[in-house]
Structure 1
Amino acid sequence: MNKIVECVPNFSEGRDMGIIKQITDEIEKVEGAILLDVDPGADTNRTVVTFVGTPEAVKEAAFRAIKKAAELIDMSKHKGAHPRMGATDVCPFVPVSGVTMEDCVQIAKEVGERVARELGIPVYLYEEAATRSERRSLADIRAGEYEGLPEKLKDPEWKPDFGEPVFNPKSGATVIGAREFLIAYNLNVNTRDRKLAHRVALRIREKGRIVKKKDGTKERVPGRLKAVRAIGWYIPEYGYAQISVNLTNYKITPLWKLFEVASEEAEGLGLRITGSELVGLIPKEAMLESGRHFLEKMGKCPAVPEKELIHIAVLSMGMDQTHPFKPEEKIIEYRIAKEKNLTAMRIDDFADELSSESPAPGGGSVAALIGTLSASLSSMVANLTYNKKGYKEFNDEIAAAGIEAQKLKDRFLSLIEEDTEAFNSVMDAMKMPSGTDEEAEAKEKAIEEATKKATSVPLETLKLTEKLLEVANVVVEKGNKNSISDAGVAAISAKAAAESAYMNVIINVPGIKDEEFKENVLKEAKEVLENVRKKSDEIRDKVMKYLEENL
């Protein structure tokens, strides 16, 4: 899976777009960082910037942006409606895919340490990166704002996490941290009455509502959903009220659960949730999880392609009622996806390209293609088994195997492209000039790194074939016996993918100078291949035994 981190720095400038452009230019200079959104506010005199990329790219881009903001923004002259304490007020890192919260905490700490050391700006860590419980809340850290910093820094309790407790009048202080992805999501209600929509909001939001008891005293009653902030409002442009929600952690409260609980509460007040509106972007997994939920609710197998899961989620939650829902624009992974070349081809065009004199695509891409076909077959058997008479007791295992097969299918599809890209990178490195000592050294380094990558891609293909056999074994053991031959072909194909990938690993190894890397790769590759051969043969024998006994 590609590693993607989101960063959402807030800069204390919302009126001079020339300054903001210089800051965002620094982000765009970093290879692997993609600028997604720039949202300036004149009244707040603040701009929220959103960019994503690989962990290393995001880490570098964030530092460069903070550095440029420190050069261009003078906090001693700043006025604005929004609370703030620094030129870069807050800079959170958010895991999107392929990375953990712990990874983002580490990024926050590394960026924070560098900002303090190189720029002389005091840094506080917040949310998941906080070093103390009383520093988790941004509002608590920011209390007193920029104007209160000189006194705050004198208090030992507010010693910065990084940097000296010395007031920087130009740049102030910066809060850096890690948090989950915040989904801004509005639920449409069949009324113009804001108060009714707000009553639903009070019942679902974590904070809950204040109620008066029989004795006249008041108490706060918690809402039904964790990680949910909500209010009701009316949008004249739409002609209906909405429950405006900030879902601060979709891993605690899934999007589908938010929709269904809100629908239950609305119904209790004689209302209906007629649809919903996504504001901004959403991680792909939040949509896929919702799609799976609604399919299972229908009694259907959730092991279907991503496109279908997203379609079901959009239909089920009415996400295109207010505006058309375009996955390529609203789902963050799709927004930054590379253009597909090989996997977008018709199968006959791919075969023609493969048969040409061009050395890429070659055996590595074919190994990944075979893996794709193995995963697809296992998913097919899962779908032909789920909820069928005689197999319902295996629904949970079959669904899990099918979902994993779909994930493997998608990863193998990516590896088809990545293998060819890796080969092309080796060719590009070999074409680099070597006329001077510096050029020769740079070329040698580029060839080494490109060859390692060209080895690592088929190695991943090889390692994933073990997972192919895990799902193939489930559908052989628990799957619809009318499709057992398909499950058998999935297992045989996994072995073919492994053999093919192994060859593409070892052909690249002689071109690598790093002996430790070579030794580790060869050892791991041999062990995986031996395991795959053994497991595939065991599954094949089981399938053949069943088929021959039922001739």
Structure 2
Amino acid sequence: MQKQLIECVPNISEGRDAKKIQEIAHVVETVAGVKLLDIDPGAATNRTVITFVGEPEPVIEAAFLLIKKASELIDMRGHSGEHPRFGATDVCPLVPIANISLEETAQYAHRLGERVGKELGIPGYFYEAAAKEPKRKNLSNCREGEYEGLSTKLADPNWKPDFGPAEFNANVAKTGATAIASRDFLIAYNVNLNSTSTRRANAIAFDIRERGRVKREGNPITGKKVLDENGEPVLIPGKLKAVKGIGWYIEEYGIAQISYNLTNVSITPMHIAFDETCKAADRRGLRVTGSELVGLVPLKAMLDAADFYLTKQSRSLGISESEKIKIAVKSLGLDDLKPFDPKTRIIEYMLEEDASKKLVDLTVSGFAEETAAESMAPGGGSISAYVGTLGVALGTMVANLSAHKAGWDDKWEFYSKWAEKGQAYKDKLLFLVDEDTNSFNKIMDAFRLPKDNPQEVAARKAAIEAATQYATEIPFQVMETARNSMEVMQAMLKDGLQSSLSDSAVGILCAKTAVLGAYFNVRINAKDLKDREFADNILARAEAIYQEALAIENETIALVNEKM
């Protein structure tokens, strides 16, 4: 069964006392299986966003310990800050990350809330997907009145808490209330203005956010509110769906910001919120100087932003992931207020295993030294995959150069699509560099299994057969991917920059070498397989790919000789 992962993003009402913040945040690391990803304090908001991840049971245990520690160290009776809040742990959302649904995550939110209420005596509300009734889905409804209005709210039968005491006792006066949720991944995102005016920042927020602004008679700012038949204010919707926003002034930076919550980035991604804010600011005589992420961001959000701005510039999208991240950071101005380090701000990068264990993260000379060392891996299979990587990288280079050639602007999308295909082949082959070595190690592990009785002997034989099959499939994937990648170089030989003809041709030669090298590995591993039906099938398919690669190599040499 695949591992379930959820993220927890508690916001605590302390952003100035570093000792308290660290003590509260690091309590989650006392729970085995929980990884603390980020601590993001804000002095002006007097609020810190903490992010950690793990399997559900450890995460809710860590969340409980964090809420408990915050209730001990934070006294809401003396709290002030720019951000709306009503408790020491103001909100504690749980976010499904892998192999778990929003509904399942809501069940864990309910378990956490019940424990917080019973064991800590802290009242609170379930919101978003964990809400017990429709009006409580929206966090702003649950938190309306903030800490100062909490005594009145708890006494209102319509706002009886979902967990904890329905009274403003001495303990609650200190801890305030907590809102616990199950929700989709939310991006907390602030856009910076060249202004100090909260009123003007709010005006832009009202232009953009889904809720919009209250409709008024006459003057849109001071006029009488227009009410509907139920006596509720009529709203003029804003530009973007799934966006919440307010304006505020941040003293530590000396600027006004629009603070957004992007509640569904598949509806309104980060780059659209930024772009529309730039337009709204310009209409009001203001300028956006950059933006700021609070907490972590999914990799896809950054790559989508890069693609958006590359497309606006009529530039190829088939560039490396690292280059796309740089473009996203600069296009959104994420380094406007402080440096932006992708390794600590992008959630997938934070969850990566130690890069030093991967061959593809070695330097070129380091890879060569590792190959030359007194060990059997990396061997011919990994080297074949890497040679194939170099081949398609050359083809991708020619596609990107062609997309950028003066006078070919009308064809940039054609070349961009080929460059994107090249990047996909390159990424698959890079994965196979390490996976070929991993597959060899699986065979070694199988041979080390005990064989002291008939059951162990049978299990060992089965493990060796399974590992050998896998070690045959991996070089076959190298063959298949390298052969398919030749289409990029073939397209560039025909339609790409003719001054780079030799580069495309060398790419073909590298791809053919990868096919041939991997073919040898398929054959040497297949000969030891007991399942001859599997072995004969994969050998026949490998032979066909090998012959195709030889034919393409011969065609390429003939073409290059003709053109040169």
* Both structures adopt the same fold (TM-score exceeding 0.5): yes
Q: 1:206 maps to what in 2? A: 210
Distance 1:452 1:318 in 2: 49
Q: 1:400 maps to what in 2? A: 417
477-486 or 307-316, which moves further after superposition? 477-486
Secondary structure of the corresponding residue to residue 231 of structure 1: strand
Measured on the aligned residues, the alpha-carbon RMSD in Å equals 5.4
Q: 1:487 maps to what in 2? A: 504
Deviation at 1:188, TM superposition (A): 1.0
Q: 1:195 maps to what in 2? A: 199
Distance 2:522 2:133 in 1: 48
Secondary structure of the corresponding residue to residue 343 of structure 1: helix
Residue by residue over 1:235-286, the C-alpha shift from the partner in whole angstroms, topping out at 9 and shown as x without a partner, is 1111111111122233333332222211111111111111211211122232
Distance 1:442 1:251 in 2: 47
Query: 486, 499, 517: which is aligned to 1:500?
Result: 517
Contact 1:466/1:528, CA 8 A, preserved across alignment: no
Q: 1:157 maps to what in 2? A: none
Q: 2:395 maps to what in 1? A: 378
Secondary structure of the corresponding residue to residue 251 of structure 1: coil
Distance 2:95 2:524 in 1: 43
Is the alpha carbon distance of 1:387 and 1:109 closer, same or farther for their aligned partners in structure 2, counting shifts above 3 Å? same
Secondary structure of the corresponding residue to residue 306 of structure 2: helix
Distance 1:16 1:396 in 2: 49
Kindly provide the amino acid, as one letter, of the partner of residue 338 in structure 2: H
Q: 2:94 maps to what in 1? A: 91
Residue by residue over 1:12-60, the C-alpha shift from the partner in whole angstroms, topping out at 9 and shown as x without a partner, is 999999999786544xx44xx644247999xxxx9986444xxxxx5xx
Deviation at 1:367, TM superposition (A): 2.3
Q: 2:295 maps to what in 1? A: 280
Identity %: 34
Q: 2:282 maps to what in 1? A: 267
Deviation at 1:310, TM superposition (A): 1.9
Q: 1:318 maps to what in 2? A: 333
Query: 300, 303, 308: which is aligned to 1:293?
Result: 308
Deviation at 1:529, TM superposition (A): 3.9
Q: Is 1:105 matched with 2:108?
A: no
Q: 2:56 maps to what in 1? A: 62
Query: 296, 317, 341: which is aligned to 1:302?
Result: 317
Distance 1:439 1:529 in 2: 34
Is the alpha carbon distance of 1:179 and 1:296 closer, same or farther for their aligned partners in structure 2, counting shifts above 3 Å? same
Distance 1:38 1:210 in 2: 36
Is the alpha carbon distance of 1:149 and 1:506 closer, same or farther for their aligned partners in structure 2, counting shifts above 3 Å? farther
Is the alpha carbon distance of 1:314 and 1:142 closer, same or farther for their aligned partners in structure 2, counting shifts above 3 Å? closer
Query: 355, 361, 367: which is aligned to 1:339?
Result: 355
Secondary structure of the corresponding residue to residue 336 of structure 2: coil
Deviation at 1:540, TM superposition (A): 4.5
Q: 2:266 maps to what in 1? A: 251
Contact 1:63/1:111, CA 8 A, preserved across alignment: no
Distance 2:450 2:264 in 1: 50
Q: Is 1:365 matched with 2:382?
A: yes
Distance 2:160 2:510 in 1: 63
Contact 2:476/2:542, CA 8 A, preserved across alignment: no
Is the alpha carbon distance of 1:131 and 1:441 closer, same or farther for their aligned partners in structure 2, counting shifts above 3 Å? farther
Q: 1:99 maps to what in 2? A: none
Q: Which runs of 5+ in 1 are unaligned?
A: 53-57, 96-102, 151-173
Deviation at 1:333, TM superposition (A): 2.4
348-357 or 255-264, which moves further after superposition? 348-357
Query: 229, 233, 244: which is aligned to 2:248?
Result: 233
Q: Which residues in structure 2 correspond to 1:171-190 (within 5 Å)?
A: 179-180=184-185, 182-190=186-194
Residue by residue over 1:492-522, the C-alpha shift from the partner in whole angstroms, topping out at 9 and shown as x without a partner, is 4334334433544565567788x6xx96697
Q: Is 1:353 matched with 2:366?
A: no
Contact 2:131/2:137, CA 8 A, preserved across alignment: no
Rg comparison, structure with higher value: 2
Kindly provide the amino acid, as one letter, of the partner of residue 196 in structure 1: R
Q: 1:36 maps to what in 2? A: 37
Aligned pairs, how many?
Answer: 497
